[in-house]
Amino acid sequence: MNNNHMTLGEFIIDNQKHFKYSSGEFSRLINAIRLAAKAVNHEIRKAGLVDITGASGDINIQGETQQKLDVLANDLFKQTIINREIVCGIASEEEDDFVIVHGKNKANDNKYILLMDPLDGSSNIDVNVSVGTIFSIYRRVSPEGTPVTEEDFLQKGNQQVAAGYIAYGTSTMLVFTTGKGVNGFTLNPAIGTFYLSNPNMKFPDIGKIYSINEGNYVHFPKGVKEYLKYCQEEKENRPYTSRYIGSLVSDFHRNMIKGGIYIYPTSAIGPKGKLRLLYECNPMAFIAEQAGGKASDGYKRILDLKPTELHQRVPFFCGNTQMVEKTEEFMSKYPEDANY
Ligand code: AHM
Ligand code: MG
């Protein structure tokens, strides 16, 4: 079929046979994510029209005020997935603990678990700037038919079977990988269908964009400070361009298309960084690698880190391979900063 006309639904069916665990369960899971994405998209698109923006008042486990749409997006994804009985557990950035999904008769024979950041960058909602959803899928390690355990969620990122994001930008895109490259689908809102718009996405060989909250410069580790000076130097193809939306999904998406690096380092005010390993860094790292890029904590591959807790934070350097390697070169001069 001509890629220009392929829908996400057709793509899923077409690719099911290439997927190593092709039971159909996984395809149903991606279908449910597609459905929830459309529902969240609908809510986001009317955020400016109705009075549902602003803080809901609840404080999440990281001590941050939740926005109403965070709560809504979390509920929509959770309910859509739970109703379809296709996973045995869900962990979300917006939930204190993981959710055990019981199937009929309390037993749950489903193999997959879902981890998600239902609405990332949600502080951007009030100012009409892009936000995103990030998701990550693993096979459980505990026996089927028993309730999921924390160990199911604390797997290394290199065990992911799929990961993706939805970018609610000027258009809505669903981008995902099952370990066979990265494909991007754009929603036609008139008919509610995602079309394959960006097949086999790859970082360009040369990247020239760096994305970091430079306002925190004084708090950054020495290696990051030196890398930033390197980016700003007038030499070879530098200085680079600085672009920072403050929405990981959007910053990552732009950098993957145009070539760049996203950095959220440790700092004096956030000694472990800000982003969460399980809901943000691992899925983005999987997508980055599948698109020919790289993701690191400044010293080690993100996907090889062994998670110790659900809401763990790590420093994150992700994007164009050459650029990430350059940051690692600078960071390696300060090995003491590897112990965050
Ligand atoms: P969130 O999960 O609370 O929305 O935080 C994650 C977001 C990322 O999308 C973004 O890149 C980063 O936080 C921005 O942080 P800062 O405002 O510190 O630059
Ligand atoms: Mg987030």
CATH of the domain at 213: 3.40.190.80
Q: What is the DSSP string of 288-326?
A: HHHTT-EEESSSSBGGG----STT-B--EEEE-HHHHHH
Q: Do 52 and 120 have their domain in common?
A: yes
Lowest mean pLDDT among 75-89, 219-233, 235-249: 75-89
- What does the pLDDT read at residue 328? 98
- What does the pLDDT read at residue 183? 97
Alpha carbon distance 293, 208 (integer Å): 14
Q: Do 243 and 136 have their domain in common?
A: no
In a domain, 116, yes or no: yes
Q: Is the pLDDT of residue 46 over 90?
A: no
Strands (E) across 189-266 are located at 193-198, 209-211, 241-242, 260-264
Residue nearest to atom 12 of ligand 1 (CA): 246
Q: Do 187 and 265 have their domain in common?
A: no
Lowest mean pLDDT among 57-71, 101-115, 285-299: 57-71
Q: Kindly state if the Cβ of 247 falls inside 6 Å of ligand 1.
A: yes
What is the arithmetic mean of pLDDT over 64-74?
A: 78
What's the pLDDT tens digit per position in 74-106?
999 999 999 888 899 999 999 999 999 986 656
What band does 63 get if pLDDT is binned at 50, 70 and 90? low
In a domain, 282, yes or no: yes
Residue nearest to atom 15 of ligand 1 (CA): 246
Q: Kindly state if the Cβ of 120 falls inside 6 Å of ligand 1.
A: yes
What band does 24 get if pLDDT is binned at 50, 70 and 90? confident
What is the arithmetic mean of pLDDT over 243-251?
A: 98
- What does the pLDDT read at residue 182? 97
What band does 128 get if pLDDT is binned at 50, 70 and 90? confident
Residue nearest to atom 2 of ligand 1 (CA): 120
Residues 21/160, Cβ–Cβ less than 8 Å: no
What band does 50 get if pLDDT is binned at 50, 70 and 90? low
What is the arithmetic mean of pLDDT over 286-309?
A: 98
What band does 20 get if pLDDT is binned at 50, 70 and 90? low
Q: Give the pair of three-digit tokens for residue 167.
A: 């970018």
Cβ-based neighbour number of residue 214 at 10 Å: 13
Out of 141, 169, 198, a domain closes at 198
Out of 178, 198, 218, a domain closes at 198
Task: Tell me which of 64, 93, 117, 120 to substitute to probe ligand 1's pocket, judged by most ligand atoms within 8 Å of the beta carbon.
Answer: 120
In a domain, 254, yes or no: yes
Q: Do 185 and 222 have their domain in common?
A: no
What is the arithmetic mean of pLDDT over 274-292?
A: 98
Q: Do 175 and 275 have their domain in common?
A: no
Ligand 1 atom closest to residue 93's alpha carbon, by position in its atom list: 2
What band does 2 get if pLDDT is binned at 50, 70 and 90? low
CATH number for the domain harbouring residue 193:
3.30.540.10
Q: Do 268 and 297 have their domain in common?
A: yes
Q: Do 60 and 193 have their domain in common?
A: yes
What band does 58 get if pLDDT is binned at 50, 70 and 90? low
Distance 249 CA to ligand 1 centre (A): 10
- What does the pLDDT read at residue 55? 53
Q: Do 190 and 167 have their domain in common?
A: yes
Q: Kindly state if the Cβ of 122 falls inside 6 Å of ligand 1.
A: yes
What band does 200 get if pLDDT is binned at 50, 70 and 90? very high
Instruction: Check residue 72 and give left, alpha or beta (phi > 0: left; psi -120 to 50: alpha).
Output: alpha
- What does the pLDDT read at residue 298? 98
Distance 313 CA to ligand 2 centre (A): 11
Q: Do 186 and 233 have their domain in common?
A: no
Q: Do 153 and 216 have their domain in common?
A: no
Whole-angstrom distance between the N-terminal and C-terminal Cα of the chain? 49
In a domain, 246, yes or no: yes
Nearest to 317 by CA among 305, 335, 299, 339: 299
| Number of domains within the chain | 2
Look at the alpha carbons of 216, 218, 222, 225 in this order and tell me if their dihedral is positive or negative. Answer: positive
**Mean of the per-residue pLDDT values for the chain?**
91
- Give the residue numbers spanning the domain of 279: 209-338
Q: Kindly state if the Cβ of 270 falls inside 6 Å of ligand 1.
A: no
Q: Do 282 and 238 have their domain in common?
A: yes
Q: Do 192 and 218 have their domain in common?
A: no
- What does the pLDDT read at residue 127? 87
* Sheet of 193-198, strands arranged across: 99-100, 87-92, 112-120, 131-139, 162-168, 172-177, 182-188, 193-198
In a domain, 204, yes or no: no
Q: Is the pLDDT of residue 51 over 60?
A: no
Out of 164, 198, 232, a domain closes at 198
What is the arithmetic mean of pLDDT over 213-241?
A: 98
In a domain, 319, yes or no: yes
In a domain, 166, yes or no: yes
Peptide bond into 271 cis (omega under 30): no
Q: Is the pLDDT of residue 13 over 60?
A: yes
In a domain, 203, yes or no: no
